[in-house]
A and B are shown apart, each in its own frame.
Chain A
Amino acid sequence: MPRAAYLGPMQALCRDCLTAFETGARCPACRSPRVTRHPELFELTIAHMDCDAFYASVEKRDNPALADKPVIIGGGRRGVVSTACYVARIKGVRSAMPMFQALKLCPDAVIVRPRFDAYVEASRAIRQMMDELTPVVEPLSLDEAFMDLTGTARLHGAPPAVMLARLIKRMKDELGLTGSIGLSHNKFLAKVASDLDKPRGFSIIGKAETTAFLRPKPVRLIWGIGPAAQESLDAAGIRTFDDLLRWDRRDLHDRFGGMGERLWHLARGEDARRVSAHTPVKGLSNETTFSEDTNDPDILDGHLWRMAEKVSGRAKAKDKAGRVVTLKLKTGDFKLISKRQSLRSPTQMADTIYRTARALFDQVGDRGPYRLLGVGISELTTADAADTSGDLLDPDAGRRAEAERAADRIRAKFGETAIMKGRALR
């Protein structure tokens, strides 16, 4: 970073004891080297918090025997890596990498099946801490969120940077989890910043150095630029932000449409999107990649049921219901099939989700073998509007719903595996 350009005193903050100071490499109070310094440190208000190897950290916290082992969260040989801990990352393991490849890189890795309940619980605890900082928290997933702390300094008696450092400290002290903070003047840069110094990072991109910082960086830094967009940018000779800056606004728009407009602004470090606490959840879905491609109707039916049950479980936990049921299938040759069905009244019942997905599955016909199956609900509403009307042609539906509610109560009392459907075991 071109530090010479900075004017004014370098504000510094100790992330261990939260002391603010101006000079010295270490904290004058506690001698800690974990110091963040930046001229705009106490002025910036838009933050992105990203937990470090979240799933793996939760597993290590709950099972200290794993602490110094390479841990990979994911399922089965054919699955993909969901999260790899930093020990495994040293060996080159990355999330979304196929499991067999990860194991080749890191043969002694301990593979842990994801325990979403534990992650959801940890995520909720973190969320609660973030809510204490500001009402404007926009979660992106279980382990990351944007926060807008504009105007909170007076309330807390401390600038946002201090409160964010305190949040990270509390996460570590109270939950045993670590996270990284990116602090800047908009969402795009805050998200970029949080990734600069992971794990346990606290990075800042100030207004003054925004363009200088971005210039040499590759455009794939932009969240949402996937391989396809990358390809079309490559074709236009755009690899870095510097390349992007050379483009005329109109030309970018003509070539890339709406994305071009956005790129023009991002190239200048501009991002007008607000942190929104009310981004509604669009849908809930679960999918599974099989250990081997299958066409076995019983096995597929078992997966359908389990996915429906998972989606239903999450919907019930969130007090949500979906008006649309979706089915996703991927064939052995990677063709994606997706189907959807609207319901008369929104549902959160596993039985209804399963039956609808099953009917969609039957519509697809014989296109297997399949390697992946997913079930989801979307067009979410609150649960009180759910499952209000029965089906004339399915008089047993009411009784099945009663049975499901009873089973839910048993599970709540005696645990997830206390009662299961036979088809869940297929």
Chain B
Amino acid sequence: MKLSIERASLLKAVAQAQSVVERRNTIPILANVLIEAEGDAATFRATDLDIEVVDRAPAQVERAGSTTVSAVTLNEIVRKLPDGALVTLTDDGASGRLTIEAGRSNFNLATLPKEDFPVMASSDYVTNFSAPAPVLRRLFDKSKFAISTEETRYYLNGVYMHVADSEGGQVLRCVATDGHRLARIDADLPDGASGMAGVIVPRKTVGELRKLLDDDDMQIAVSVSETKVRFATPAITLTSKVIDGTFPDYTRVIPQGNTRKMEVDATDFAKAVDRVATVSSERSRAVKLQLSEDRLVLSVNAPDSGAAEEEIAVAYNDEQLEIGFNAKYLLEIASQVDRENAVFMFNGSGDPALMREGNDTSAVYVVMPMRV
């Protein structure tokens, strides 16, 4: 195999490959990226057995062929090469080495046989649709903060992507929760998506997917089967197993009867929460919200380290209410608001609160209160 490739395209492909490979793995081949050169392109394939990413980059292929080398090392090398360099990769097949040449730099890396590289089995994708990158970006960006890291409830370790019934008809919906907060984000249902079985997209896949979604004009091809999900652009194909579990019935978690409405500028609110939380050294910083007519007092009382209080103007005309929350959770949901005011709907001080942006119900957040 011999190919020449522009440093920038090589770096992009190899960087993605090395983020997929598992750092601490016991199977050496899984640390490697499979490079295949044919026609006018090179493909770079990496997997951790749960996720597989294939990057296709234009290259001058002098001699077709394939080999595998350490993804992390190759990435480090390419990253350190000067911008604009033309990189030549040569593997003579006999020496067990891949030679990397760029300008006056010359490296050679140990290879492992390509036959050992596990290629993810293809799946019977029953649902195929296409969605604009910004739509998927919004669905996942706004929900991923609520993904659980708790291994015992593994079915919460991802974003539940499914088709749901909303007031305006069917929507494509992403839900994530860790039992303390929940995010429910809706988007218009793309053509061909109806009838899709719900899948739990694992946390790591959500992270990798994000790299496909930067280009506003890109259309992403989404394919879903019972066990796998695939996101593809012309250059990159990301295939992932989905979490084999049942996502809990989140609909009963979303409070319907919360009537006490507070409207607040999300940025002001977040800044005030952040300020008062400073005095607490606890990992789960509790902020107390005291609501009275058009007035919100935020306070933190940490007996060991100090106390803080701040008053901000809000729109509220219901009974007085005192309710506590984890400061981090409040900051996270407040930061999801980007256009209008944040609207909080409360019930009692022990009941979950709901937050949305203005009157837009296409993004809804639920937070569990804390005893303060």
Residues of A within 8 A of B (CB): 323, 341-342, 344-345, 356, 359-360, 362-363, 384-385, 387-395, 398
| Residues in chain B near residue A392, CB distance under 8 A | 177, 179-182, 253, 352, 366, 368
- A247–chain B nearest beta-carbon distance, Å: 37
Given A363-B152, A385-B282, A393-B179: A398 and B368 within 8 A (CB)? no
Bound: A385/B300 CA distance, A: 13
Question: With contacts A362-B152, A389-B369, A392-B181 known, what are 10 further pairs, Cβ within 8 A?
Answer: A342-B150, A344-B284, A385-B284, A389-B284, A389-B370, A389-B371, A391-B368, A392-B366, A393-B177, A395-B253
- A361–chain B nearest beta-carbon distance, Å: 10
Contacting residue for B371 out of A323, A344, A387, CB 8 A: A387
The interface centre, meaning the residue of A356, A391, A395 with most chain B CB atoms within 10 A of its CB, is A391
The interface centre, meaning the residue of A345, A356, A360 with most chain B CB atoms within 10 A of its CB, is A345
A323: nearest residue on chain B (CB-CB)? B283
B51 within 8 A of A: no
| Residues in chain B near residue A359, CB distance under 8 A | 152-153
The interface centre, meaning the residue of A323, A342, A388, A389 with most chain B CB atoms within 10 A of its CB, is A389
B326 within 8 A of A: yes
Q: Is the CB of A341 within 8 A of B179?
A: no
| Residues in chain B near residue A384, CB distance under 8 A | 303
Bound: A360/B350 CA distance, A: 29
A-B pairs with the 10 shortest C-beta distances?
A359-B152, A391-B179, A388-B370, A388-B371, A389-B370, A392-B253, A393-B179, A390-B368, A392-B179, A393-B248
- A324–chain B nearest beta-carbon distance, Å: 12
Q: Is the CB of A344 within 8 A of B180?
A: yes
B212 within 8 A of A: no
Q: Is the CB of B371 within 8 A of A391?
A: no
Show 16 residue pairs from A and B whose CB-CB distance is below 8 angstroms, ordered by the A residue: A341-B150, A344-B178, A356-B152, A363-B151, A363-B152, A385-B282, A388-B284, A388-B286, A388-B324, A388-B372, A389-B326, A391-B179, A391-B180, A392-B181, A392-B182, A393-B177
**Chain B window 162-198, contacts with chain A (Cβ cutoff 8 Å), 1 for yes, 0 for no:** 0000000000000001111110000000000000000
Contacting residue for B180 out of A342, A385, A389, CB 8 A: A389
- B179–chain A nearest beta-carbon distance, Å: 4
Bound: A195/B77 CA distance, A: 62
Q: Is the CB of B153 within 8 A of A345?
A: no
The interface centre, meaning the residue of B177, B283, B324, B350 with most chain A CB atoms within 10 A of its CB, is B283
Bound: A393/B247 CA distance, A: 11
| Residues in chain B near residue A323, CB distance under 8 A | 283
Bound: A191/B92 CA distance, A: 69
- B324–chain A nearest beta-carbon distance, Å: 8
- B26–chain A nearest beta-carbon distance, Å: 19
Bound: A241/B328 CA distance, A: 55
Residues of B within 8 A of A (CB): 150-153, 177-182, 248, 253, 282-284, 286, 303, 324, 326, 350, 352, 366, 368-372
| Residues in chain A near residue B369, CB distance under 8 A | 389-390
A343: nearest residue on chain B (CB-CB)? B150
Interface of A is mostly: mixed
| Residues in chain A near residue B286, CB distance under 8 A | 388
Bound: A387/B286 CA distance, A: 12
- B204–chain A nearest beta-carbon distance, Å: 19
Given A391-B179, A391-B180, A393-B248: A398 and B350 within 8 A (CB)? yes
| Residues in chain B near residue A385, CB distance under 8 A | 282, 284
Bound: A398/B370 CA distance, A: 12
| Residues in chain A near residue B366, CB distance under 8 A | 392
Q: Is the CB of B282 within 8 A of A344?
A: no
B284: nearest residue on chain A (CB-CB)? A345
| Residues in chain B near residue A363, CB distance under 8 A | 151-152
Bound: A341/B253 CA distance, A: 24
Contacting residue for B179 out of A356, A360, A394, CB 8 A: A394
Bound: A359/B156 CA distance, A: 14
Bound: A388/B287 CA distance, A: 12
Bound: A344/B152 CA distance, A: 13
The interface centre, meaning the residue of B284, B303, B372 with most chain A CB atoms within 10 A of its CB, is B284
Q: Is the CB of A341 within 8 A of B177?
A: no
A398: nearest residue on chain B (CB-CB)? B350
| Residues in chain B near residue A362, CB distance under 8 A | 152
- A326–chain B nearest beta-carbon distance, Å: 13
- B316–chain A nearest beta-carbon distance, Å: 23
Contacting residue for A341 out of B151, B283, B352, B368, CB 8 A: B151
The interface centre, meaning the residue of A344, A394, A395 with most chain B CB atoms within 10 A of its CB, is A344
| Residues in chain B near residue A342, CB distance under 8 A | 150
- B346–chain A nearest beta-carbon distance, Å: 15
Bound: A389/B177 CA distance, A: 14
The interface centre, meaning the residue of B152, B153, B352 with most chain A CB atoms within 10 A of its CB, is B152
| Residues in chain B near residue A341, CB distance under 8 A | 150-152
| Residues in chain A near residue B350, CB distance under 8 A | 390, 398
Bound: A398/B180 CA distance, A: 13
Bound: A363/B178 CA distance, A: 18
| Residues in chain B near residue A398, CB distance under 8 A | 350
Contacting residue for A345 out of B182, B370, B372, CB 8 A: B370
A360: nearest residue on chain B (CB-CB)? B152
Bound: A390/B325 CA distance, A: 11
Q: Is the CB of B152 within 8 A of A393?
A: no
- B84–chain A nearest beta-carbon distance, Å: 47
| Residues in chain A near residue B152, CB distance under 8 A | 341, 356, 359-360, 362-363
| Residues in chain B near residue A360, CB distance under 8 A | 152
- B356–chain A nearest beta-carbon distance, Å: 17
| Residues in chain A near residue B370, CB distance under 8 A | 345, 388-389
Bound: A380/B253 CA distance, A: 30
Bound: A390/B151 CA distance, A: 18
- B289–chain A nearest beta-carbon distance, Å: 15
- A39–chain B nearest beta-carbon distance, Å: 47
| Residues in chain A near residue B352, CB distance under 8 A | 392
| Residues in chain A near residue B248, CB distance under 8 A | 393
| Residues in chain A near residue B253, CB distance under 8 A | 392-393, 395
Bound: A345/B370 CA distance, A: 10
The interface centre, meaning the residue of A356, A384, A385, A398 with most chain B CB atoms within 10 A of its CB, is A385
B371: nearest residue on chain A (CB-CB)? A388
Bound: A362/B152 CA distance, A: 9
Bound: A389/B286 CA distance, A: 10
- A316–chain B nearest beta-carbon distance, Å: 16
| Residues in chain A near residue B182, CB distance under 8 A | 392
- A343–chain B nearest beta-carbon distance, Å: 9
A341: nearest residue on chain B (CB-CB)? B152
- B302–chain A nearest beta-carbon distance, Å: 10
| Residues in chain A near residue B153, CB distance under 8 A | 359, 393
Bound: A384/B304 CA distance, A: 12
- A364–chain B nearest beta-carbon distance, Å: 11
- A336–chain B nearest beta-carbon distance, Å: 19
- A337–chain B nearest beta-carbon distance, Å: 15
- A347–chain B nearest beta-carbon distance, Å: 12
Bound: A358/B191 CA distance, A: 44
The interface centre, meaning the residue of A341, A360, A390, A393 with most chain B CB atoms within 10 A of its CB, is A393
A381: nearest residue on chain B (CB-CB)? B282
- B332–chain A nearest beta-carbon distance, Å: 14
B304: nearest residue on chain A (CB-CB)? A382
